[in-house]
Amino acid sequence: MQKILNLIPDLFAPKRTLTGPTKVEMLLIDELRAAAHVHYSNSDLEVSEAGQEWLRNLNKLCEQILQNDPRMFLQWDVIKNTMFVSDAPYLSTELHFIKNMPNWKDRWKKAVKESPAGCPTHYWGYRQSSGNLIHHAYHIARFEEITGVSVDKLDRVFEFGGGYGSLCRLFYNLGFTGNYIIYDLPLISALQKFYLKSMGLNVLEQQAPDNNIDGNGVLCLSETNTLLEKINFSDNKSLFIATWSISEIPVSLRQPVLNMAEGIGAFLFAYQHQFGEVNNVEYFSKMRDQIHQKIEWHSSPITHIPGSYYLIGKPQ
C-alpha cells in the first residue's frame, strides 16, 4: 500500500519535456551557470563538520545546473530532498486550514495556484497547487491569524534562508508590493534569482543605486555587505522570516543573523525542538529577550508536525 501511495505524486507531475529555451530563458540559464562555475572554483574550501552535508548538496546542485536543463530544477532529487515539500502527510491538514478560511475564494485560491516555472510536481490532494506552496501558505495564514497583520500591508520583508524563492513569490501573489530581501548562500541566491526572474518578478541587483534599495522588488543577498547596512528596518511594517533556517545552523552563527533583524517590527520563526546538541526551545525562549523592541510573542507547537514550533512576534 505504501508503495502505491509513494507513486501518487508522480501521477501529477508535469510533462518532463520542454521546447528549446527562448533568448530570455537562455540568458537566465547562462547567468545561473556562471554562478555554478564560481561555486566549483570555491568548493575546495574547508568547512565545519556541520557544513559538510550542505556542501555535498551544493555540489550536487552545481552539477545539475551545469549538466541539465535548469528550467526543470524542481524535478531534481537534490531540490526535492532539501527545498520542496511534495507529499508530506501534514499537507492535508494545512490545505484544509487554508481552504476553510473565509477569504479562500477571494484571496488564497488564486495565491496558491502553482506556476509552471521550474516544472513543480503538483499536490495530489489539490492539483492546482503544489505541496510546497500550500506549506508556505499555511505559514503566512497562521502569521496573519495570530498577529492580525496582512502581509500585503507590509513595506519590507527579510527572509533568512529562502529556498528557491517560493515563499517570496507567494507574498507577491498575496498582494505584497514592497521590498523583499532574501539572505542565503551564493549558489542558492543565484537559483532564487533564476526562479524569481522566470516568474517575471523584479529582481534588483546588489549593485543597485541607493534610490533602488528602498524601491519595490526582490534583493537576493549572500553576504553582509554595505548594501545591507544601508537598508532601513526602523518601522513596524517590516517582517523577519526564518522557517527552520536559523534553527539549523550552529549557535555561533545565529547571533550575526539576528543582528540583521534590528529595527524589524514583526517575526515569523519556525524551528525543530532539537538540532544536534542544541535545545532550540530553550534557545528561542532566551532569544526573545535579546530582541530590543517591544514585541508581543506567541509561541506554539505545530501539532501536525511533531517536534516543530512557531514563534511569532508583532509590535505591542
Secondary structure of residue 217 in the 3-state scheme: strand
- What does each C-alpha distance from 241 to 14, 22, 23 come to in angstroms? 30, 34, 35
Output the nine-digit C-alpha cell for 7.
507513486
Work out the pLDDT band at 100, boundaries 50, 70, 90. Answer: very high
* Residue 170, φ and ψ in degrees, nearest 5: -65, -40
Determine the distance from the C-alpha atom of residue 75 to the mean position of all C-alpha atoms in its chain, rounded to a whole number: 17
Q: In 112-236, which residue ranges form alpha helices assigned H by DSSP?
A: 131-147, 166-173, 186-198, 210-213, 226-230
The mean per-residue pLDDT over the stretch 120-133 comes to 97
Residue 138: per-residue pLDDT: 98
Strand pairing report for 266-272 and 308-315: antiparallel
Residue 310: per-residue pLDDT: 98
Residue 243: per-residue pLDDT: 97
- What does each C-alpha distance from 17 to 71, 119, 214 come to in angstroms? 10, 10, 40
Residue 16: per-residue pLDDT: 58
Work out the pLDDT band at 262, boundaries 50, 70, 90. Answer: confident
Going along the chain from its start, the domains and CATH numbers come out as: 91-315 (3.40.50.150)
Output the nine-digit C-alpha cell for 88.
508530506
Residue 228: per-residue pLDDT: 61
Residue 83: per-residue pLDDT: 96
Q: Give 240 or 211, the one with higher predicted confidence.
A: 240
The mean per-residue pLDDT over the stretch 52-76 comes to 93
Q: Which residues contact 153 (CB under 8 A, 6 or more apart)?
A: 237
Could you read off the pLDDT of 212-247 as tens digits, one per residue? 555 689 999 887 665 566 566 667 789 999 999 999
What percent of the chain shows pLDDT beyond 70? 83
Residue 11: per-residue pLDDT: 53
Residue 258 per-residue DSSP state: H
* CA–CA dist 128, 110 (Å, integer): 9
Residue 316: per-residue pLDDT: 82
> Dihedral, CA atoms, 171, 121, 194, 17, nearest 10 degrees?
-150
Work out the pLDDT band at 114, boundaries 50, 70, 90. Answer: very high
Would you say residue 13 has pLDDT above 80? Answer: no
Would you say residue 50 has pLDDT above 50? Answer: yes
Measured in residues, the chain has a length of 316
- What does each C-alpha distance from 194 to 25, 33, 62, 200, 204 come to in angstroms? 9, 10, 14, 10, 12
Could you read off the pLDDT of 278-315 as tens digits, one per residue? 999 999 999 988 876 688 999 999 999 999 999 999 98
Would you say residue 29 has pLDDT above 70? Answer: yes
The mean per-residue pLDDT over the stretch 159-169 comes to 97
**What's the whole-number average pLDDT of the chain?**
88
* CA–CA dist 61, 191 (Å, integer): 10
Residue located via cell numbers 556542501? 55
